[in-house]
Amino acid sequence: MPDETVTAAEPGVGTPNVERDIEDEEEKEAEQARDVEKGGVPVATGAEEVSGGKEERDPNMISWDGPDDPLNPQNWSFGQKWAAMGIVSVFTFMSPLSSSMVAPALPQISRDLGITGDPTLSSMTLSIFVLGFAVGPLVLGPLSEIYGRVRVLQLANLFFLIFNIAGGFAQSKGQMMAFRFLSGFGGGGPIALGGGVLGDMFLPEQRGLAQALYSLGPLSGPAIGPMISGFIVQSIDWRWIFWITSIVDGVIQVLGLILLRETYAPKLLGDKVRRLKRETGNDKLYSVYDKHDRSMRAILSRGMVRPFIFLGTEPLCQIIGTYMALMYGVLYLLLTTFAELWVTEYGESSGIAGLNYLAIGAGYTAGSQIGAWLIDATYRRMKVKNNDIGLPEFRIPIILVSAPISVLGLILYGWTAQYKVFWFVPDLGVFIYGMGTLSAWLAIQTYLVDTYTLYAASAIAATALYRSLLGFAFPLFANQMYAAMGQGWANTMLAFITLIIGVPAPLVFLKYGHKLRERSSMARKSRIIR
């Protein structure tokens, strides 16, 4: 695929300096990505110079040792890839699990910490964790470009662990809010970096199954958390919700120290350059990724500004972000009110009520398995029909089925809960909703990785920021909305809002996605040889 040159904005035409500097750096990053893809042997700095029909290459520039270099994470063995992906997926499971585990305990927490008479403030005890999710990736994502994926993942999880433990010792609502926000900030690390780890190791046609495993965490964690905590609250005390999850997360932290290996190419090649300098004494050696400014200031500036550029200038991210934000907001809205429905309307104990969350978890599991298989199968079939050229839009067709399915599930749940139909039927509705939601989620995540390969972490951070803000905001009005409208009309309204975005969006991507990518500077710069 021929390289495309994207001209940065000229000085003096109204583009802010910071944005112009970012665009200049992106040009260099895009050039580096193409260099690395050229058989593992980078071209010389600057334009390609041809002499006698051969490209002149800088012998001091270090890249992969050919396409089969075992140092390249894409060449790791099956066991090495899935061990790393498994640990990252468990990390992405634990923090969302903790985000929702307080749902069944909100009445006890409100009573013990003096959060009474204000349902919005009580709901914020749950949702402020998700606000930390929104902020964390903006800092942790860029830091991973300096120190590598693994070090930032481990430190972010340790940060989450410390403040999750502290949550169990909170003595006031102020302490609880602060500890929950800070633990959410650390928990945002795996959410921000997991997609990057996936893109580091797996080729496009292999990403469906890996994305299914990775995406199960952010979505099934919030569904399973209240199921476990219902029995903890009923049998012990709400403070043990924090301490038990911290014990489990501590074990995972230790496993991560043993099994996780670095996957970020600039970090791996930077380590290789330092090793070769020691061995050869040649101080002129440098990595293909060192052709631009990789200082902390430059990387943090690009990494923290770029997600906002994505949300402000990329129609693809804006449409996808809106749909993902709605799905995430509805999920946390359901989580906030789900336990109360079964306790107050069906007369179940908190422990038994928590078992109903199994329906959401089962739906997500089914959606991940079926969705991953369909996404990969559809991608391979459409790629063959397209002269063996894969396109990101080949991930989209499944949404045309999964979006209406999730809407039907939400309506079934709402009206059967409204009339207190036998518990199996509203649980079936939640199962169907979860299955459709996760299938759509998988397709969207893999579409982002395929479209913005070089900037996948920034694209995911942009949509994560958007969805986390709605995940924080939606629960704040959940009690008032359901009290005013009832389960039936409230869930029907949410289903309708989701439907008017969830069905037209994939049609737009299928028909105009390639044109939107051609007009997108970020997508063009991210284009690499497949």
Tens digits of residue pLDDT in 286-297: 887 775 555 666
Residue 51 confidence (pLDDT): 36
In the chain, the percentage of residues whose pLDDT exceeds 70 is 83
Q: DSSP for 502-516?
A: HTHHHHHHHHHHHHH
**Which residue is it, tokens 């804006």?**
318
* pLDDT band at 396; cut points 50, 70, 90: confident
How far, in Å, CA of 270 to CA of 493, rounded? 52
Residue 178 confidence (pLDDT): 94
Taking the CA atoms of the chain, what radius of gyration do you get in angstroms?
24
**Which residue is it, tokens 């559809």?**
378
Residue 45 confidence (pLDDT): 32
Residue 43, both tokens = 């071209």
Q: Give which of 341, 118, 119, 121 is closest to 230, Cα–Cα.
A: 341
Q: Give which of 184, 192, 187 is closest to 124, Cα–Cα.
A: 184
User: Tens digits of per-residue pLDDT, 441-460?
Assistant: 888 888 887 887 767 767 77
Residue 167 confidence (pLDDT): 94
What sign has the CA pseudo-torsion 259, 251, 173, 478? positive
Residue 60, both tokens = 């001091």
User: Which range is least confidently modeled, 62-71, 75-84, 99-108, 202-211?
Assistant: 202-211
Which amino acid makes up residue 136? Answer: G
Which amino acid makes up residue 409? Answer: G
Rounded average pLDDT over 167-196: 89
Q: Under 8 Å CB-to-CB from 434, ≥6 apart: which residues?
A: 219, 223, 359, 360, 361, 362, 363, 364, 366, 367, 406, 409
* pLDDT band at 521; cut points 50, 70, 90: confident
Residue 7 confidence (pLDDT): 32
How far, in Å, CA of 51 to CA of 42, rounded? 16
How far, in Å, CA of 268 to CA of 280, rounded? 18
Phi and psi angles of residue 170, each rounded to the nearest 5 degrees, phi first = -60, 135
Residue 251 confidence (pLDDT): 93
How far, in Å, CA of 185 to CA of 175, rounded? 15
Residue 265 confidence (pLDDT): 85
Q: Which one has a higher pLDDT value, 244 or 461? A: 244
Rounded average pLDDT over 320-333: 81
How far, in Å, CA of 121 to CA of 261, rounded? 41
Q: Which one has a higher pLDDT value, 21 or 502? A: 502
How far, in Å, CA of 35 to CA of 47, rounded? 11
Residue 2 confidence (pLDDT): 34
How far, in Å, CA of 236 to CA of 234, rounded? 6
User: Average pLDDT of the chain?
Assistant: 79
How far, in Å, CA of 496 to CA of 30, rounded? 41
User: Tens digits of per-residue pLDDT, 375-391?
Assistant: 888 888 998 988 888 88
Is residue 211 a contact partner of residue 442, using CB atoms and an 8 Å limit?
yes
- Name the maximum alpha-carbon separation found in the chain: 83
Is residue 168 a contact partner of residue 109, using CB atoms and an 8 Å limit?
no
pLDDT at 425 over 80: yes
Phi and psi angles of residue 45, each rounded to the nearest 5 degrees, phi first = -60, 135
* pLDDT band at 417; cut points 50, 70, 90: very high
Q: Under 8 Å CB-to-CB from 504, ≥6 apart: which residues?
A: none
Is residue 431 a contact partner of residue 469, using CB atoms and an 8 Å limit?
no
Q: Under 8 Å CB-to-CB from 344, ≥6 apart: which residues?
A: none
pLDDT at 281 over 70: yes
User: Tens digits of per-residue pLDDT, 111-156?
Assistant: 899 887 677 788 888 888 888 887 887 788 777 877 888 888 999 9
Rounded average pLDDT over 499-523: 79
Which one-letter DSSP state was computed for residue 63? -
pLDDT at 35 over 80: no
Is residue 154 a contact partner of residue 257, using CB atoms and an 8 Å limit?
yes
Residue 29, both tokens = 């990053």
Rounded average pLDDT over 7-19: 35
| Domains of the chain and CATH, by start | 73-264+296-526 (1.20.1250.20)
* pLDDT band at 340; cut points 50, 70, 90: confident
How far, in Å, CA of 255 to CA of 87, rounded? 8
